[in-house]
């Protein structure tokens, strides 16, 4: 057993409140034609995943920023948000509040059209 990794994991859990977030992140019903790759949390994201369509070479990146460490959403009162990249030709990214899952799904679908 690697005690250093256990300590780091406990420190990260306290710093990023993973237990709290596991209860607050909403359920999302993904469309059946998407395939999802869940990624490790990194660079301050609470959750990360990539979305593709069967047979596609490229994917759309999605992350949840719970502390506005990667950007800002909801100014002047920052709120947890999803970020989607790529989104469309006019905007490199799309952001919406954590509970705005309908908007999130629409943005992912829009991003998938770019790479289809």
Which residue range is the domain that position 89 belongs to? 19-115
Q: Is residue 12 part of a domain?
A: no
Question: What pLDDT score was predicted for residue 8?
Answer: 84
What is the rounded CA–CA span in Å between residue 95 and residue 20? 22
Number of structural domains the chain divides into: 1
Q: Which of 112, 82, 104 is nearest to 29 (CA)?
A: 104
Are 58 and 37 spatial neighbours (Cβ–Cβ below 8 Å)?
no
Question: What pLDDT score was predicted for residue 14?
Answer: 87
Question: What pLDDT score was predicted for residue 66?
Answer: 93
Q: Is residue 14 part of a domain?
A: no
Question: What pLDDT score was predicted for residue 49?
Answer: 96
**What's the pLDDT band for 103 if we cut at 50, 70, 90?**
very high
Q: Tokens 């306290």 belong to which residue?
A: 14
Q: What is the pTM of this model?
A: 0.88
Q: Is the pLDDT of residue 116 over 70?
A: no
Looking at every residue in the chain, the average pLDDT score rounds to 90
């Amino acid at each position: 057993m690697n005690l250093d990794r256990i300590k780091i994991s406990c420190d990260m859990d306290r710093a990023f409140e993973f237990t709290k977030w596991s209860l607050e992140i909403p359920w999302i019903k993904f469309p059946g034609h998407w395939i999802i790759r869940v990624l490790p949390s990194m660079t301050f994201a609470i959750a990360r995943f990539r979305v593709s369509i069967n047979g596609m070479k490229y994917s759309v990146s999605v992350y949840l920023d719970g502390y506005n460490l990667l950007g800002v959403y909801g100014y002047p009162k920052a709120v947890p948000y999803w970020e989607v990249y790529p989104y469309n030709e006019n905007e490199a990214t799309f952001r919406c509040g954590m509970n705005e899952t309908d908007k999130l799904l629409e943005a992912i679908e829009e991003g998938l059209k770019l790479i289809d």
